[in-house]
Structure 1
Amino acid sequence: MFGSLLLGIATLLGVLYVFLVSNFGHWRRRGVLEPRVFPLFGSFPNMVWPRQHFTMDMRDIYMRYRSTHSYVGCFLMRAPKLLILEPRLVYEIYVSAFSHFENNDVSKMVDLAKDRLVSLNPFVLDGDEWRHQRAVFSTLLTNGRIRTTHAIMQRVCRDLCEFISRKSLGGKEMDCIDLGLRFTGESLFDCVLGIQARTFSDNPLPVVRQNQEMSAENRGLAIAGAVCGIFPNLPRRLRPKVFPLSHDQFYSSLISESLQLRRAKHQERNDFINHLLEMQRDLNLSEEDMASHVMTFMFDGLDTTSNSVAHCLLLLGRNPKCQRHLLDELQKASPSGELPDLDVLIDLPYLSACFNESLRIYPAAGWASKTCTKEYELQGSHHSEPLKIRPGDNLMIPIYALQNDPEHYPEPEVFRPERFMDGGLKSFKQQGVFLGFGNGPRQCVGMRLGLAMAKAALAAIVQHFEVVVSPRTRDGTDIDPLIFVGVHRDGIWLQFIPRKV
């Protein structure tokens, strides 16, 4: 009896092992080098056993092979991924050969029937549906509407600075991730929904708490990622729900109330919610569709913008000379100390350079996935024959590794905004080594709004406070291995010293 039990367990383990390694060799059989790979862990063991963020595994492979290979075959657990190492090919995939790589792999992770709040988000859609919804969403982001939001952000920035003044008395340190979320939450709720989230008050809407449940504490996201890695060909309808139910309930109820309030008031404003209501009439959109369009703003902008603001403040705090240079630029642009007009703010060269340099060091996403939609021959400089990429093949772009490669950015750990001055941004994008907002036709659809928000927050804070890094903040640029979106490890704690008027 005992022997039969042992035999059964051994057989089960053998079957499991064969299953876990059954895809290994996929790239080798196509003539592509496969670095060392482990059962269950794949090529990126820290995704399963997080001692460091798993994008560091990607960086290690990139640094080991970038001088000898244009790409290598990797595995996200069991799922075959072609890791692109040559920047020229990165630009090719994003821009010149885009029609062959239109889709993002994230669409396979989300069952849109279960997660209705993102069912119209261009980021998770494929093919014609992506093109249609991006075109619809783009009509929301006109220059006129972004100018309308700037007036709102001026009010939000005043509230932000008053909040910092109250909470930082006596040199008290502040959690800058929390601060960034309060700012983006207040801005987006007012700009998009026309309501105030009161995030700087003692009785706020639970925006920050909801965001924590969505990102840092989201087990559904981790489970969905694991399911995709272990069962890469599992039908979408069998994928688990990604967004927490509490997240759905909170936002659906709030969005519904906001829409009803605006309908009742009959306000004619050139803002996002008025245009959404016009779209509902013209396109016969359901309430679910409306909620999904609103959540595109929240999903794409809340976490990424807040983290980017926090990281830029951290780097400015560590580099007082850069902070002083930025202050000088802001004072010249607005001697009164008020937030500059939107057109002036967006075009401030050193502010833009500081923000882009912080996005380089701390990219909002450390990697990207592109799925082949039409056969393509990828000709790498290190390979004599082109590699045929087939429809369904998935390519990984190591954004963090590219943007922190000393070959492209000497002393990459050093905050040096000057890299992005005098055409640097355009040059780095064309080289395929800067993907702060992606590139090509599928770059971030809300980029202009995100930039307007982030630059407003940074300008207002630097105008009114000297930013100093608290000893509580960890040195270096380590990324928290337990949070899917890249965030400085153990938090960003800063002190804000009021500037003398």
Structure 2
Amino acid sequence: MLGSLLLGLATLLGLIYGFLVSNFGHWRRRGVLEPKVFPLLGSFPNVIWPRQHFTIDMQDIYMRYRETNSYVGCFLLRAPKLLILEPRLVTEIFVSAFRHFEDNDASRMVDPAKDRLIARNPFVLQGDDWRRERAIFSTLMTNGRIRTLHSIMERVCRDLCDFLTKDTTGGGPYDGTDLGLRFTGEVLFDCVLGIQARSFSKDPLPVVQQNQQMSSENIGLTIAGAVSGLFPNLPRRFRPKVFPRSYDRFMGGVISEALRLRRSNHQERNDFINHLLELQREHNLTEEDLISHAMTFMFDGLDTTSTSIAQCLLLLGRYPGCQRRLLEELDRAGGDSELLDLDALIELPYLSACFNESLRMYPASGWASKTCTRDYELLGSHKAESVKLRPGDNVMIPVYGLHHDPDFYPEPGEFRPERFLDGGLKRFKQQGVFLGFGNGPRQCVGMRLGLAMAKAALAVIVQRFQVKTNARTLAGNQLDPNIFVGVHKGGIWLDFEPRSAKIS
């Protein structure tokens, strides 16, 4: 009896082991080097055993092989991924060969039938669905429409400054990520839905709590990532639900109520919800489509923009010389106005440089993953023969590794905004080593709105407060290994001291 049990257990373990390693050798058989890989852990062990953020595993592989290989074969758990190491090929995949790499790998991880809130989000759509929805969404994100939001941003900036002024009297540190979420939540709810989230009041809508459930506390996202890594060819209809049901109820309910109120009041307001209602009539959109389009603004802009604001404030607090130079630029441009005109704000070179350098050090996503949609031969500089990619093959871009490559960014751990002055941004993007918002036709659709919000928040805070890093904030630039997106480990804790006067 015992012998039979042991034999059965050994057989089961053998089958599990065989399943876990069955894809290993996938790239080697196609003539591509495969660095060391581990059963279950794959090429990035810290996905499972988070001693450091797993993008650092990716960076380690990038730095080890970039001088000798243009790409290497890796595995996210057991899912084969071609890790691109040559920056020229990054630009090729995102831009010149885009029609061969149209789809994001995330589109295979999400089942729109289960997660209706993002069913029309261009980031998770494929092929013709993506092109159609991207075209609809792009009409909402013009510079002219974003420019009309100036009065809303002015109001939110005043609320932000009043909130900080009252809060700083207590003398305690402030959670920079929470501050960023309050600001972006208030702007987005007013701009997109025409309602105020009361983010700086004693009775706010639970935007911050819902966002935490969606990002840092989301079990569904963790399960979906594990399923995608273990069963890469699993049809989408078998994928688990990603959004928490409480998040569906809250966001879906708020958007539905905003739509109902706008229709019942017959209110004409030059904001995004009015434009969405016009698009519904023009394109015969369903109510679910309309809610999903509104949700695209909230989902794409809330977490990434708020985190980027917090991390830029962290770096400005650590580098007071850079903060003073930014203050001088704002003072010269601003005069006595409460908030610079959005066009002027967007064009300020040093403000843009500070934000881009922050995105370089803390990219919103430390990697990108694209799916081959048409046969393509990828030819690197380090090998005479090309690798032939077939539809369904996945390529990964080590964004964090590229952003911290000392060959392109000397002393990459140092905050040096001047890297992005005098054409630096254009040069780095053309080289394929800066992907703060992605690149090519599928770069972030909400980039203009995200930039407008982030720059407004940074400008008004730096003009009115001296930002200092509180001792509670951990030294260094280490990412939190327990959070999928890249955020500073231990949180961002800041002090804000009101400025007595402007620079003369």
Report if TM-score (shorter chain) is over 0.5: yes
Letter in 1 for 2:205: L
Are 1:313 and 2:347 matched, yes or no?
Answer: no
Q: What's the CA shift for 1:386?
A: 1.1
Aligned equivalents of 1:282, 1:445: Cα separation in 2: 21
Partner of 1:496: 496
Letter in 1 for 2:372: C
Query: Secondary structure, in 3 states, of the residue corresponding to 1:467?
Result: strand
Query: Secondary structure, in 3 states, of the residue corresponding to 2:72?
Result: strand
Query: Secondary structure, in 3 states, of the residue corresponding to 1:370?
Result: strand
Aligned equivalents of 2:497, 2:428: Cα separation in 1: 35
Aligned equivalents of 1:161, 1:389: Cα separation in 2: 53
Are 1:323 and 2:284 matched, yes or no?
Answer: no
Are 1:280 and 2:280 matched, yes or no?
Answer: yes
Query: Secondary structure, in 3 states, of the residue corresponding to 1:83?
Result: strand
Partner of 2:122: 122
Q: What's the CA shift for 1:16?
A: 0.3
Partner of 1:394: 394
Partner of 1:88: 88
Partner of 1:184: 184
Runs of 5+ consecutive residues of structure 2 not aligned to the other structure: none
Give CA-to-partner distance per residue, 1:234-269, whole Å, 9 cap, x none. Answer: 111000000000000001111111011111221222
Partner of 1:471: 471
Give CA-to-partner distance per residue, 1:422-472, whole Å, 9 cap, x none. Answer: 000000000000000000010000100000000000000000000000000
Letter in 1 for 2:20: L
Q: TM-score, normalised by structure 2?
A: 0.99
Give CA-to-partner distance per residue, 1:245-301, whole Å, 9 cap, x none. Answer: 000000111111101111122122221000111111222222211110011001100
Are 1:255 and 2:255 matched, yes or no?
Answer: yes
Aligned equivalents of 2:459, 2:171: Cα separation in 1: 21
Q: What's the CA shift for 1:74?
A: 0.1
Give CA-to-partner distance per residue, 1:337-371, whole Å, 9 cap, x none. Answer: 52100110000000000000000000000000011
Partner of 2:461: 461
Letter in 1 for 2:382: H
Aligned equivalents of 2:245, 2:291: Cα separation in 1: 15
Aligned equivalents of 1:414, 1:249: Cα separation in 2: 43
Are 1:373 and 2:376 matched, yes or no?
Answer: no
Runs of 5+ consecutive residues of structure 1 not aligned to the other structure: none
Instruction: Please say which of residues 263-272 and 302-311 is displaced more in the overlay.
Output: 263-272
Partner of 1:343: 343
Letter in 1 for 2:209: R
What is the correspondence of 1:1-40 to structure 2 with a 5 Å cutoff?
1-40=1-40
Letter in 1 for 2:318: R
Query: Secondary structure, in 3 states, of the residue corresponding to 1:212?
Result: helix
Aligned equivalents of 1:382, 1:151: Cα separation in 2: 54
Letter in 2 for 1:113: A
Aligned equivalents of 1:6, 1:199: Cα separation in 2: 60
Letter in 2 for 1:338: E
Q: What's the CA shift for 1:168?
A: 1.6
Give CA-to-partner distance per residue, 1:354-398, whole Å, 9 cap, x none. Answer: 000000000000000011011111110011111111111100000
Query: Secondary structure, in 3 states, of the residue corresponding to 2:323?
Result: helix
Aligned equivalents of 1:265, 1:326: Cα separation in 2: 44
Instruction: Please say which of residues 170-179 and 41-50 is displaced more in the overlay.
Output: 170-179
Aligned equivalents of 2:210, 2:313: Cα separation in 1: 24
Partner of 1:47: 47
Query: Secondary structure, in 3 states, of the residue corresponding to 1:9?
Result: helix
Letter in 1 for 2:381: S
Aligned equivalents of 2:330, 2:384: Cα separation in 1: 52
Are 1:133 and 2:120 matched, yes or no?
Answer: no
Q: What's the CA shift for 1:151?
A: 1.5
Aligned equivalents of 1:295, 1:334: Cα separation in 2: 34
Aligned equivalents of 2:144, 2:28: Cα separation in 1: 53
Are 1:352 and 2:352 matched, yes or no?
Answer: yes
Query: Secondary structure, in 3 states, of the residue corresponding to 1:171?
Result: coil
Aligned equivalents of 2:311, 2:214: Cα separation in 1: 20
For the 8 Å contact 1:55–1:367, the answer to whether it is kept is yes
Q: Give the root-mean-square deviation of aligned CA atoms.
A: 0.7
Aligned equivalents of 1:337, 1:251: Cα separation in 2: 35
Partner of 2:229: 229
Aligned equivalents of 1:54, 1:143: Cα separation in 2: 37
Aligned equivalents of 1:95, 1:328: Cα separation in 2: 37
Q: What's the CA shift for 1:144?
A: 2.3
Aligned equivalents of 2:252, 2:312: Cα separation in 1: 32
Aligned equivalents of 2:170, 2:4: Cα separation in 1: 71
Letter in 1 for 2:286: S
Q: What's the CA shift for 1:170?
A: 4.4
Aligned equivalents of 2:336, 2:405: Cα separation in 1: 41
For the 8 Å contact 1:371–1:394, the answer to whether it is kept is yes
For the 8 Å contact 1:331–1:337, the answer to whether it is kept is no
Instruction: Please say which of residues 447-456 and 383-392 is displaced more in the overlay.
Output: 383-392
Give CA-to-partner distance per residue, 1:298-337, whole Å, 9 cap, x none. Answer: 1100000000000000000000000000000000111215
For the 8 Å contact 1:171–1:497, the answer to whether it is kept is no
Aligned equivalents of 1:396, 1:471: Cα separation in 2: 37
Letter in 2 for 1:160: L
Partner of 2:61: 61
Letter in 2 for 1:222: T
Aligned equivalents of 2:376, 2:206: Cα separation in 1: 47
Aligned equivalents of 1:481, 1:471: Cα separation in 2: 21
Aligned equivalents of 1:457, 1:92: Cα separation in 2: 35
Give CA-to-partner distance per residue, 1:192-238, whole Å, 9 cap, x none. Answer: 00000001000000000000000000000000000000000111100
Runs of 4+ deviating beyond 2 Å: none
Q: TM-score, normalised by structure 1?
A: 0.99
Query: Secondary structure, in 3 states, of the residue corresponding to 2:80?
Result: strand
Give CA-to-partner distance per residue, 1:463-482, whole Å, 9 cap, x none. Answer: 00000000000001001111
Aligned equivalents of 1:171, 1:316: Cα separation in 2: 20
Query: Secondary structure, in 3 states, of the residue corresponding to 2:75?
Result: strand
Give CA-to-partner distance per residue, 1:107-148, whole Å, 9 cap, x none. Answer: 010011000000000000010110100000011112222012
Instruction: Please say which of residues 21-30 and 386-395 is displaced more in the overlay.
Output: 386-395
Aligned equivalents of 1:290, 1:169: Cα separation in 2: 43
Aligned equivalents of 1:48, 1:285: Cα separation in 2: 41
User: How many residues in Structure 1 have an aligned counterpart in Structure 2?
Assistant: 501
For the 8 Å contact 1:337–1:463, the answer to whether it is kept is no
Aligned equivalents of 2:442, 2:144: Cα separation in 1: 23
- Report the identity percentage: 74
Query: Secondary structure, in 3 states, of the residue corresponding to 2:490?
Result: coil
Aligned equivalents of 2:365, 2:471: Cα separation in 1: 27
Aligned equivalents of 1:431, 1:310: Cα separation in 2: 28
Partner of 2:195: 195
